[in-house]
Amino acid sequence: MPHPPRHFPDPTNPRLTRAVAGHDHTGQLQHIRVVEERPLTIFLNAQEIVTAMTIGDYPEYLAMGFLRNQGMLRDDDEITAVDYDDDLEVVIVRTTRQTSYEEKVKKKTRTSGCAVGTVFGDMMEGLEGLTLPPAEIRTSWLYALAKEINTLPSLYLEAGAIHGTVLCQQGEILVYMEDVGRHNAVDKISGWMLKHGVSGADKILYTTGRLTSEMVIKTAQMGIPVLASRSGFTAWGVEIAQQVGLTLIGRMRGQRFICLSGEGRLIRDADVAAVPDEDRKHRRKGGAA
């Protein structure tokens, strides 16, 4: 089976940013690039599910991942087509199973995430009886990944106001997605995994954003045992991580990090003294947290 295609940010894509003129604190004219936002309406078969604000790349992955993480796509569902209309800004995921989620769609709960992320009220039910795999996580992988992620060309470094989420295997980056909401970035990765049949059992999910309850829930539902971030935690995020046995690592900057759940997976094989502190020019990478 061929290796699935990997995806990395493309800050040169003219569709994702727009040039805007303004004046700085001295009154000088400045031209900067700002991130685009576009509505994307997601359908599951004939039913409209949600309209999300997104930068507009990888709409098919976003739709599939969103539906999967909301429990609307089952593991045994056969997806017959994913149709995207750029003019209408609509994506339709079609399955052989007849679906109807009218009651579920009514039970939306607004979350604390940016870009008005939404989580449906019964998402917690999907965590009952969930057991994450007993994978290991080496600190040498964490340090290597953090360094590479911080220095990769990205839309954040080009225009800011955006979050990044990265799927990793040991010390290797598989997929790096960005969006105005970290929820969208995670859903794109989930869609990529679903499309290409990639298991989360031996993976690490890294995000530039906060480790909230929704981020923990989505990671667990994707079967990924480790979630790491440059940013901090919410109490409910930590509580759910402990409940499902997810390894939760935050405040990763230079030599430092803190693990608040799933410590048993950590193997401290790196010489911390040999790990350089974070370069000042890369510290802004956490500014979107």
The set of catalytic residues is 114
Burial of 21 (0-12, 13-18, 19+ CB in 10 A): exposed
Burial group, residue 64, by CB count within 10 angstroms (0-12, 13-18, 19+): buried
Query: How many alpha carbons fall within 13 Å on the CB side of residue 173?
Result: 21
- Here the tokens at position 63 are 């739709």
User: Which pair of structure tokens corresponds to residue 47?
Assistant: 């039913």
First to last CA, the chain: 37
- Label residue 22 exposed, middle or buried (CB < 10 Å: 0-12, 13-18, 19+): exposed
